[in-house]
A and B are shown apart, each in its own frame.
Chain A
Amino acid sequence: MIEARGLTKDYGDKRAVDGLTFSVRPGVVTGFLGPNGSGKSTTMRLILGLDAPTAGDVTVNGKHYRDHAAPLHEVGALLEARSVHTGRSAYNHLLALAGTHGIPRRRVDELIDLVGLREVAKQRAGKFSLGMGQRLGIAAALLGDPATVMLDEPVNGLDPEGIHWMRSLLKGLATEGRTVFVSSHLMSEMSLTADHLIVIGRGRKIADTSTSEFLAAASGNIVRVRSPQAAELQRLLAGPDVTAAALEPGHLEVRGLTAAQIGDAAAEHGLRLHELTPQQASLEEAFMNLTREDIEYKAAELEAEDAVA
């Protein structure tokens, strides 16, 4: 359980996180979504106490992170920025972290096997590829059997097999009753793993809702219909809350009716259908709609800077 109240962080003149209030519940995967530079990583650093908030407060399992007696047992974190000494082997890196909590050596071995780094465990971490580095970061995060797992852009640099592994791992961790908090700037990734979404833009919270609700709200129930009798169908379906737009001959985009309603109506009137496909506006589109303001603001800001320069 992570609880933030009015969490705010300024770096000089720039406000990176702006009055964030949210809670991350156990047992589900919560996605933390926002464009690059929207304050996700900063929020995570504030949760871990690596940075101190300018205002507001954040607790993990009821306490400030630094006040826990066994912090690695409370939160396992993978930060976006690498947090490994490049001259040390993966094995010794984990051993050093484990040592602070008296975690036994066999646990280090267990995690090296879990993340699939056995063969390179004795190599210097500086030689690791991005994907191997992520796996090492995951191993470090899970070392203390944490109640809360917090991962910043965990699929970055992973190959398809690694991405699949990561998704399964996240769901598994949530099923075990852990709090799982995962950031990403990719909607599509979040739609596959997250049950709940916290969306931020420019440090502010834009949405805090279940992934399915977020999708439904964003998509507006569009159904694509192909029919040789498209014109008749268009007249048939037209109503006060329904729009049926003809994009091209024989092709309609219907808003306001479900695919079932359209199919039934067509059958009653003996109209032939060649295709009937419910369209969810892509998550990426929904996300773009929500954060457009943020992106436009940035573009304007850049233009202003260019003008000055």
Chain B
Amino acid sequence: MPVNYYIFLSVALFCIGIAGVLTRRNAIVVFMCIELMLNAVNLLLVAFSKMHHLAGLALDPGSTAGTEAQLFVFFIMVVAAAEVTVGLAIIVMMYRNIHSVDINFLNRLKH
């Protein structure tokens, strides 16, 4: 499949994630939708990495073009894991204080 199909697939997944963020009120589900958006971007990065690699291979058979993109995806996963830890800790703390994960009550985070 050419890279266009991957672009459209990523756009579709990203927009589904945005729809989830906009339509759900459960903070955890909103957080999961953000993970989905991150994954859509990762998929696109891997697709472009492969495209770049194929273009590099056409010029030089021993080319390693495209490695950086895959490492970038790896670092995105690392940062996402750290982000999930802190985010879920905040949600658990919020649940302990106001006994709800409804984001409409999140404006009370200050007290």
Decide whether A and B are members of one complex.
no
Residues of B within 8 A of A (CB): none
Residues of A within 8 A of B (CB): none
